Amino acid sequence: MTQPPPATMAIVGGRVVPVAGAPVEDGVVLVRDGRIEAVGRDLRVPEGAERVDATGKVVLPGLVDAHVHLGVHEEAEGWAGQDTNEMTDPVTPHVRALDAINPADLGFADALAGGVLTVNVNPGSGNAIGGQTVAVRSAGRSVDEMVLRAPSGMKSALGENPKRVYGERKQLPSTRLGTAAVIRDALVKAANYLAKRDRDGDEPFERDLRWEALGLVLEGEIPWRQHCHRADDIATALRLADEFGYRLVIDHGTEAVLLADRLAERQVPVLIGPLLTSRSKVELRNRSLANPGRLAAAGVELGIITDHPVVPVHLLHVQAALAVREGLAPADAVRAVTLTPARVLGLDDRLGSLEPGKDATLCVWSGDPLDARSRVETAWIEGRQVYGADPDNPPF
């Protein structure tokens, strides 16, 4: 994004949904130098400000998808664009999604069209420990100018995927107990590495990028992003988190409803999805669009994810809408694709709601975003228009 945003902009006349507060009818969002200055009704619009008429429309924070493979699992590129898994070793905490993202992936344009202005790009789930995730803006010429937080988490997988990948090779881990053992072994080695580093002080110390990366988890700097579907795997995830004391986030959580009380008690967020898929493997037997509502009703902090390209990223709001149809409260659905994923990524001080001081990363929708017929008309990232302009002359 190279063009500077207008110094001052006012989006007027729309139904403003701040997420952190009650909707404002006929509201105004004032933006100055790429940040939100004020949100309310009957606000004075500064002279010379660029005015955006949102009458009859809805103003919403940019959606946040906390689990995608945009840029590393490229669409329409065949094998050349597949950089999701480094499946030559079950323990690869030192690999970074950051180093494989192609901003030219067609999915980024789809994200903008769907109002998904922030995404968290994850390595795949073929390894017990798959590597470092990165939170990025959905527009930019290079990944370096897109980055919001790197790393933003550590990807790990339990269940079928690593068991299948390495079991076919007759290599550890080929079972669920083997996968848990591999994870525990790596975390113990990382803890030993940190202890030696701290003990040696200023003495020369040979760095090891694997244990250094896992050290970020053990020291609480980034969360442990645990791929798991079945309830028994979620129980294992809780057991491992208890043993090593890291911040746990459950990704997918197909059967999380079976342990909802434990997850709520421990304040473990669940990023549920993808929801618009068939039951393509055993772990998905209990997939249901009603599960988000059940989790929210149990007090679980809930996000909704697409796992793009499993579900196309621009359908994030459609998944939320269908979850509402099956019992999720509309306010919880909006929060599940805005403020909650922003908090999981450590970006809720900048994103996820329309509040003074936060980034002006927001959209004007033609109607209710929880109506599948609604579409994004205009989108801005930090005050720069990234969608709704001449498609032959993009502003980024």
| Banded pLDDT at 395 (limits 50, 70, 90) | very low
Question: Domain tally for the chain?
Answer: 2
| Banded pLDDT at 120 (limits 50, 70, 90) | very high
Give the tens place of pLDDT for each residue, 58-96: 999 999 999 999 999 999 888 888 999 999 999 999 999
Collapse the DSSP code of 323 into the 3-class scheme (helix H, G, I; strand E, B; otherwise coil) and give the result.
helix
The strands making up 270-272's β-sheet, listed across from edge to edge, are 63-68, 116-121, 129-137, 147-157, 224-228, 248-252, 270-272, 302-304
156 touches 377 (CB < 8 A): no
Q: Do residue 195 and residue 329 come from a single domain?
A: yes
Token couple for 376: 């994004």
Q: Do residue 267 and residue 396 come from a single domain?
A: no
Q: Do residue 323 and residue 187 come from a single domain?
A: yes
d(CA 139, CA 8): 21
- Per-residue confidence (pLDDT) for residue 106, from 0 to 100: 96
Whether residue 110 has pLDDT greater than 50? yes
- Per-residue confidence (pLDDT) for residue 5, from 0 to 100: 73
The closest of 233, 240, 234, 307 to 276, measured between CA atoms, is 307
Give the tens place of pLDDT for each residue, 124-164: 999 999 999 999 999 999 999 999 999 999 999 999 999 99
Distances from the Cα of 67 to the Cαs of 145, 250, 272, 305, 388, in angstroms?
20, 11, 9, 6, 25
Q: Do residue 235 and residue 119 come from a single domain?
A: yes
Collapse the DSSP code of 257 into the 3-class scheme (helix H, G, I; strand E, B; otherwise coil) and give the result.
helix
- Lowest mean pLDDT of 44-53, 197-206, 214-223, 264-273, name the range: 197-206
Give the tens place of pLDDT for each residue, 287-317: 999 999 999 999 999 999 999 999 999 999 9
- Per-residue confidence (pLDDT) for residue 396, from 0 to 100: 47
Q: Do residue 316 and residue 242 come from a single domain?
A: yes
Give the tens place of pLDDT for each residue, 332-343: 999 999 999 999
List of E strands, 254-332: 270-272, 302-304
Q: Do residue 288 and residue 359 come from a single domain?
A: no
Q: Do residue 67 and residue 54 come from a single domain?
A: no
The pTM assigned to this predicted structure is 0.96
Q: Do residue 30 and residue 77 come from a single domain?
A: no
Q: Please report, for the chain, how many H helices and E strands are present, in that order.
A: 11, 16
Question: What is the CATH number for 208?
Answer: 3.20.20.140
- Sequence length of the chain is 396
How much is the mean pLDDT over the chain? 95
Q: Do residue 370 and residue 343 come from a single domain?
A: no
Q: What is the extent of the structural domain holding 122?
A: 63-349
Question: What is the CATH number for 396?
Answer: 2.30.40.10
- Per-residue confidence (pLDDT) for residue 201, from 0 to 100: 75
Distances from the Cα of 296 to the Cαs of 2, 67, 76, 167, 331, in angstroms?
40, 19, 36, 36, 11
Q: Do residue 267 and residue 389 come from a single domain?
A: no
Q: Do residue 333 and residue 369 come from a single domain?
A: no
Q: Do residue 74 and residue 192 come from a single domain?
A: yes
Per-residue exposure over 313-323, b if at least 16 CB sit within 10 Å of its own CB, e if not: bbbbbbbbbbb
Ramachandran angles phi, psi of 329, nearest 5°: -65, 140
Token couple for 332: 């919880």
